[in-house]
Amino acid sequence: MRAGDLAEFRPIGFSADGTIFAFEQFGIEDGSGFAYAERYYIDTREDRFVSGTPVRVRLRQDGASVQEARDAAAEQAAGIEETYLRDLEPGILAEFAPANERGSSPHRLRYDSWGVSAFSPDAYANTVRLSELVLDGPALCTGVVDTVKGFRLVMTERDGRPVNDTLHADARVPTSRKCPLAYALAGAMTHANRDGTRTHAVIVLMRTHGFEGPDGRYLVVTARLD
Question: pLDDT tens, 174-187?
Answer: 999 999 999 999 99
Query: Does residue 100 have a pLDDT over 80?
Result: no
User: 113: pLDDT confidence band, cut at 50, 70 and 90?
Assistant: confident
Question: pLDDT over 90 for what percent of the chain?
Answer: 81
What letter represents residue 197's amino acid?
T
Q: Is residue 108 one of the residues assigned to a domain?
A: yes
* Burial of 186 (C-beta count, 10 Å sphere; 0-12/13-18/19+): buried
Q: Determine the pLDDT at residue 117.
A: 59
Sheet holding 215-225, edge to edge: 92-96, 180-192, 198-208, 215-225
Q: Is residue 101 one of the residues assigned to a domain?
A: yes
- Report the number of distinct structural domains present in the chain: 1
Q: How many CB atoms lie within 10 A of CB 226?
A: 7
**Structural domain of 113:** 8-225
pTM here is: 0.93
Tell me the average pLDDT of the chain.
92
What's the residue count for the chain? 226
DSSP helix/strand/coil, 61: coil
Q: How far apart are CA 166 and CA 203, in angstroms?
A: 15
126 in Cβ contact with 155 (< 8 Å): yes
Query: Does residue 16 have a pLDDT over 50?
Result: yes
Q: What mean pLDDT is predicted for residues 30-50?
A: 95
Which of 2-16, 116-130, 209-223 has the lowest average pLDDT?
116-130
Q: What mean pLDDT is predicted for residues 121-144?
A: 91
Q: Determine the pLDDT at residue 226.
A: 84
